Amino acid sequence: MAVTSWPDLLLACLFPLALLALGCGLFQSTTLSDVHDLVSLKSLAKKTGLFSLESALKSYASYPSLARNELARMRKSYSTLSRAHKRVGYNLGYPRKLDKLQSATDVNSIVTNAIADLAKAEFDLENSTSGSDANIGRVRESLKHFVRDWSEECREERDRMFKPILDVFRKIDVEERSGHKVLVPGCGLGRLAWEISELGFDTTANELSYFMILAFRFLLSSTTTTSSNEHTIRPYAHWFSHQRTVDSVFRSIPFPDVVPRLSSRFNLVERDFLTLSAPPTPPLHGYHNITTLFFIDTSLNIIETIEHIYTLLRPGGTWINLGPLLWSAGAQAKVELSLGEVIDVAEAVGFIFDHEGMDGTRGSRTVDCEYTADSKAMMQWIYKAEFWVAKKPK
């Protein structure tokens, strides 16, 4: 199989664990206020480490060669079989299966090269050969996020997660929506934020990792994406585990099912959520609503995250959360709390939990959902994610 190390194995099976070392990626810059400010973006990127622009660009650009190296290792392992076993392998078509992996990575490379080329053009960067390390695991995870957020394949996965959240937004009068400012921190590839903006809300998507940002930009740019399902990837090719057939390993997934664009009511802010400030919208400052999806457990300091959500909201504003508690900053997280403790912190910070439509204790409810799931795999990982709506008092 393509997985060669334990960290890689984790990356391959659970994206949140890919954020294991997120702490290293946090940065403190407060200079960036304009997404298009290339100068500060460049210097900012240098400070972001693992999830920096340089590191992401280098990883996307190196995907073809990294994948080739990995395949070479697999061919080498195969070559150490005895002659008799090689004959069995040959009869199974195993060498052909390895050739198919090469074709699959060629297909994926069309997308990863285009992501890298767009990034070079938009950020005015050259191919970087030094500095940050390329990381193929994160590139593969981003490919899976195209599937999670922007393919027909994962429609069901999305519907389960998005419905409780979007239902709260749908309750608001259509005429009132355009004035409502909504923030989606840690938006990943941005589908939820996009759906909220499509309902008519003034939505800000926010993301820190350039692995996500560059992939999202590839969808947002009219130089790279113009029509639905124009791109194809083979996102499952890199992991031979849990597959019933060779065909399902190498199956193609088209994307995006719809083409997203930035607009006056949909913008992307590329920086650490903790450095954001409340939008000045007199007479009250702050966002009307903040929606966190599979986000809060990536925090290095969950207390700071909750406090910051509170600070960014206007009085009377709401925090809508859905996600598990997989403390993915790992050993770097300052505290790793239980659900009860998280709710205690939120209440101590000042939030009031909304009990309407909730069946759990203290105003939350459990939603079974998956994360970048492969519907054909022999393995299923279900999160008992918690959903709640909490209010900052007027």
Ligand X SMILES: C[S@@+](CC[C@H](N)C(=O)[O-])C[C@H]1O[C@@H](n2cnc3c(N)ncnc32)[C@H](O)[C@@H]1O
C-beta of residue 192 within 8 angstroms of C-beta of residue 369: no
When asked if residue 317 is in the footprint of ligand NAG (CB under 6 A), the reply is yes
Stretch that binds ligand NAG, among 5-13, 37-45, 164-172, 217-225 (CB under 6 A): 164-172
Q: Using CB atoms within 10 A of its CB, is residue 303 exposed (0-12), middle (13-18) or buried (19+)?
A: middle
Here the contacts of 334-342 (C-beta below 8 Å, separation 24 or greater) are 334/300, 334/301, 334/303, 335/301, 335/302, 335/303, 337/302, 339/364, 339/386, 342/296, 342/302, 342/306
| Pick 168 or 329: Cβ nearer ligand NAG | 168
Peptide bond into 283 cis (omega under 30): yes
| Pick 188 or 200: Cβ nearer ligand X | 188
Q: How far is the CB of 57 from ligand X (least distance, A)?
A: 16
Contact partner, 274, from ligand X, ligand NAG, none, Cβ < 5-8 Å per class? ligand X
| Pick 340 or 357: Cβ nearer ligand NAG | 357
Strands 383-391 and 313-323, by their bridges, are antiparallel
Q: Which of 32, 168, 208, 290 binds ligand NAG (CB under 6 A)?
A: 168
Number of residues that bind ligand NAG (CB under 6 A): 14
> How far is it, in rounded angstroms, from Cα 380 to Cα 238?
17
Q: How far is the CB of 116 from ligand NAG (least distance, A)?
A: 7
- Per DSSP, the chain holds a count of helices (H) and strands (E) of 15, 10
Contact partner, 154, from ligand NAG, ligand X, none, Cβ < 5-8 Å per class? none
Q: Which of 15, 27, 63, 169 binds ligand NAG (CB under 6 A)?
A: 169
Residues ≥6 apart with Cβ < 8 Å to 157: 148, 369, 370, 371, 373
- Residue of closest CB approach to ligand X: 186
When asked if residue 65 is in the footprint of ligand NAG (CB under 6 A), the reply is no
Contact partner, 278, from ligand X, ligand NAG, none, Cβ < 5-8 Å per class? none
> How far is it, in rounded angstroms, from Cα 385 to Cα 351?
20
When asked if residue 179 is in the footprint of ligand NAG (CB under 6 A), the reply is no
Q: What is the chain's percent helix, strand, coil content, to nearest 5?
A: 50, 15, 35
How many beta carbons lie within 10 A of that of residue 282, not counting itself? 5
> How far is it, in rounded angstroms, from Cα 388 to Cα 237?
36
When asked if residue 61 is in the footprint of ligand NAG (CB under 6 A), the reply is yes
Contact partner, 126, from ligand X, ligand NAG, none, Cβ < 5-8 Å per class? ligand NAG
| Pick 15 or 236: Cβ nearer ligand X | 15
When asked if residue 303 is in the footprint of ligand NAG (CB under 6 A), the reply is no
Question: Using CB under 6 A as the criterion, which residues of the chain lie in contact with ligand X when the complex forms?
Answer: 15-16, 19, 22, 148, 185-188, 206-209, 212, 272-274, 293-295, 298
Interface pattern 107-126 for ligand NAG (x via CB under 6 A): -------------------x
When asked if residue 172 is in the footprint of ligand NAG (CB under 6 A), the reply is yes
When asked if residue 127 is in the footprint of ligand NAG (CB under 6 A), the reply is yes
> How far is it, in rounded angstroms, from Cα 211 to Cα 225?
18
Residues ≥6 apart with Cβ < 8 Å to 69: none
Structure tokens that stand for 84 in this block? 């008799």
Q: Which residues bind ligand NAG (CB under 6 A)?
A: 61, 126-127, 168-169, 172, 288-289, 314, 316-318, 320, 389
